[in-house]
Amino acid sequence: MLIKNGVVLTETGNFETKNVYTKDVFITKEESDGETIDAKGCYILPGLIDLHFHGCNGYDFCDGTIEAVKELAEYEAKSGITSICPASMTLGDEALEKIFAAGAAYQKNPSEVGADLVGINMEGPYVSDSKKGAQNGLYLHLPEVSHFKHMNECANHLIRLVTLAPELEGSMEFIEALSKEVAISVGHTCADFDTAKEAFDKGASHVTHLYNAMNPYTHRNPGVLGAACDSSWVTVELICDGIHLHPSTIRTTFKAFGEENIVLISDSMMATGLSDGQYSLGGQAVTVKGSTATLADGTIAGSVTNLFQCMKKVVSFGIPLATAVKCASMNPAKKLGIYESYGSLTPGKYANILIVGKDLELKHVILRGKLLY
């Protein structure tokens, strides 16, 4: 395939007018036979990677079925998210085993028109009761190495991220034992600065949806945010749907952490792509009205915005397009340990490519070298 005349986002973060070539499922350096797409007047961007979302199009990863994973993958792909790492919730062991097994089974026989399943995000059950948010408090579990290893075996070792509250008993031992095996994310926590900093120093390297489900930053109690900002190796997630965070908060966070350390996520739930109504998240009832999803008590329950839409929101808030795309493609690829194959339009990587108008409307999706639409 030849994609010509477009403005290409390069691996160095610059836009250049040049051609992009693909052969089979990969981006190549040289022209090859096949279809030609004229991208004049458009951007050519790497496919996005969502490492934290729960559902969309009426399905939830926690449905625990191959059908659900297939539906998630296909919706995400046509929305410009060509690689996915869906998130579980705080549920009982039997339910989690089923969820992780379904993910592993799907990856062995994936949809030809679905986003690549590049991992699983285990969000819970190792979280704080007081900061559980939309997580189900009935199934909270202290961090335990043997428990995680069992769940990862059920997932055929697909778990790439796991969230924990570092103030919980056993957290520091968990981090020391597993931080080289899985990326450990601090989240759903009431940890103070010292506790969070100890967790990062012991090997935690990520923060689950910064600001949400944690104590706020104050000048005398900087908490998780301050500890993360003082730890240069730590990446932080931002839900940029325009509901979870004020635009000024997003701009301030980019100034504090820099574009290298920010990962855009959607944290989307099953109503994404659908109309207002009654839905569920992790087995709990959710009401969706407009762009907001809430539990019965008013707690925000994920978003109803996919990652491509979140990326556009970030640009509308004043973040440069190249930076926004990097934080939704390159950075999550690096966090998941898949940057050799994903996250940029570099020859040798999978040909997951977006053609986007100057108005940021999605024109075409190329998935593994084939024109999806």
Domain residue limits, the chain: 1-45+343-373, 48-342
Question: Per residue in 214-267, pLDDT tens?
Answer: 999 999 999 999 999 999 999 999 999 999 999 999 999 999 999 999 999 999
The yes-or-no verdict on residue 97 having pLDDT over 80 is yes
pLDDT tier for residue 318 given thresholds of 50, 70 and 90: very high
Question: Per residue in 330-358, pLDDT tens?
Answer: 999 999 999 999 999 999 999 999 999 99
**Catalytic center residues:** 267
pLDDT of residue 233: 98
- Superfamily of domain covering 1-45+343-373: Urease, subunit C, domain 1 (2.30.40.10)
Buried-exposed string 315-341: b where 16+ CB fall within 10 A, e elsewhere? bebebebbbbbbbbbbbbbbbbebbee
> pTM of the entire structure?
0.97
Q: What is the DSSP string of 68-119?
A: HHHHHHHHHHHTTEEEE--B--S--HHHHHHHHHHHHHHHHS--TTS-EE--
Question: Per residue in 37-84, pLDDT tens?
Answer: 999 999 999 999 999 999 999 999 999 999 999 999 999 999 999 999
The answer to whether the 1-45+343-373 and 48-342 domains have the same CATH topology is no
Average pLDDT of the chain? 96
Report whether CATH 3.20.20.140 matches the domain 48-342: yes
